[in-house]
Amino acid sequence: MPGPLEGVRIIDLTTVLMGPYATVMFGDMGADVIKVEPPQGDLVRGLGPARHADMGPIFLHANRSKRSIVLDLKQPAGREALLRLAGTADVLFYNVRPQAMARLGLSYEDVAAVNPGIIYAGVFGYGQDGPYAARPAYDDLIQGAACLPTLYQLAGGHEPRYVPLTMADRVVGLTAFGNILGALYHRQRTGQGQRIDIPMFETMASFVLGDHMGGRSFEPPLGKPGYARLLAAARKPFRTSDGYVCVLIYNDKQWRSFFNAIGQPDKLDKDPRFADLASRTRHIDELYAEIAETIAGRSTEAWLQLLHEADIPAMPLHDLDSIFDDPHLNATGFFQTTEHPSEGTLRTMRYPSTWSQSQPGPTRPTPRCGEHSSEVLREAGYSEAEIARLRADKVTRDAGEAA
């Protein structure tokens, strides 16, 4: 079944994770994503255990459904090839600083000169009208600037620490995906291409402060920033007699059901701390501490059974091994195995959303570096002799050729 974005062409100049995470979604939806790699390939190809040195697991998961072409954009012939590709594309997507794109002669004005209708989208550190505009940025730096390590400390951590996940890269990549889809729809209605800047710092600041603006939402402030429930030191998986359980008792009905289930049916009425959501929020640390003491007295399995019967949201605490045995994920076919042409049998994750029509999903195996160089250049109108010249001059290379 054709994907919902079949016929859309994306020129993907992004590397590592933030940009590739966005473009893999375009590819899974049927777009023709042409991944333009430098002669040495995407840096993240070499991360993690691999059967081949340039096909590590993070790269494999973030770059399926794409074609790979090598172009040395620092050479005039490489820039010319890129502009020829851009002339046939709907989107050019990059994740270096705009100043670097301008130095390569690939600014928005340069690209729009050959394709006025193109969506020229960039993900980079900071908005271009502030003092940080030209600074480099990485996930860790943006997490810190957007308060994530501080939130960890406020919630009971001994010292600030980064979330052990490329949180900023993935949030900003997902944001970029939505922005580009919106721009494509705008162009469909108006015929107008445009430039879109998606800055990491501003995106993550918005992401965090949506929960934690608190009293600073008002002028003058009505209180401190921070959402108390999320910052409660006891807001964590509860220890049971033999492990942990994840429980969220949130509304009045759930609290009443919980106390009924543990034989304290009058607790909600007799203890004013539990009276309503506002009161519970004010006393959240001590309430969570009481719940933790109660839950410590029974096994994980006993709690999961009791909580499910009481219709109280609860889940087991998985680790990075046990999640592969989760009965729900296995029943829904979340984990799948595929055969890759060069990497053999791979465990993959199915596209998590289900569509009644035009179901997205992987359309191509993850490419080797330069696997489609000659193919894409032919489509752009290059002759075999011209392609040979580009290869001889190290402007491009095919998979397996030395950089």
Domain boundaries, the chain: 9-207+332-392, 238-316
The residues facing 93 across adjacent strands are: 12, 121
The residues facing 346 across adjacent strands are: 338
Residue 273 has pLDDT above 90, yes or no: no
Q: Which residues contact 309 (CB under 8 A, 6 or more apart)?
A: 261
What are the start-end ranges of the H helices in 33-161?
A: 57-62, 76-86, 98-103, 108-114, 139-145, 148-154
Q: State the pLDDT confidence band at 380, using cuts at 50, 70 and 90.
A: very high
The mean per-residue pLDDT over the stretch 72-86 comes to 98
Please name the CATH architecture into which domain 238-316 falls. Answer: 2-Layer Sandwich (3.30)
Per-residue CA distances from 207 to 95, 124, 130, 167, 169 (Å): 20, 16, 19, 11, 12
Q: State the pLDDT confidence band at 297, using cuts at 50, 70 and 90.
A: very high
Supply the mean pLDDT for the chain: 95
Q: What is the pLDDT of residue 205?
A: 98
Residue 299 has pLDDT above 90, yes or no: yes
Q: What is the CATH number of domain 9-207+332-392?
A: 3.40.50.10540
Q: What is the pLDDT of residue 278?
A: 86
Residue 1 has pLDDT above 80, yes or no: no
pTM tops 0.75, yes or no? yes
Q: State the pLDDT confidence band at 402, using cuts at 50, 70 and 90.
A: confident
Stretch among 40-54, 192-206, 261-275 having the lowest mean pLDDT:
261-275
Q: How far, in Å, CA of 118 to CA of 112, rounded?
A: 7
Q: How far, in Å, CA of 164 to CA of 191, rounded?
A: 42
Residue 277 has pLDDT above 90, yes or no: no
CA Rg, the chain, in Å?
Answer: 26
* Amino acid at position 402, single letter: A
Q: Which residues contact 402 (CB under 8 A, 6 or more apart)?
A: none
Task: Dump pLDDT digits (tens) for 304-357.
Answer: 999 999 999 999 999 999 999 999 999 999 999 999 999 999 999 999 999 999
Count CB atoms within 10 A of the CB of residue 350.
16
Q: What is the pLDDT of residue 234?
A: 85
The answer to whether the CB of 211 falls within 8 A of the CB of 231 is no
3-state DSSP assignment of residue 2: coil
Q: What is the pLDDT of residue 190?
A: 98
Task: Dump pLDDT digits (tens) for 41-66.
Answer: 999 999 999 999 999 999 999 999 99
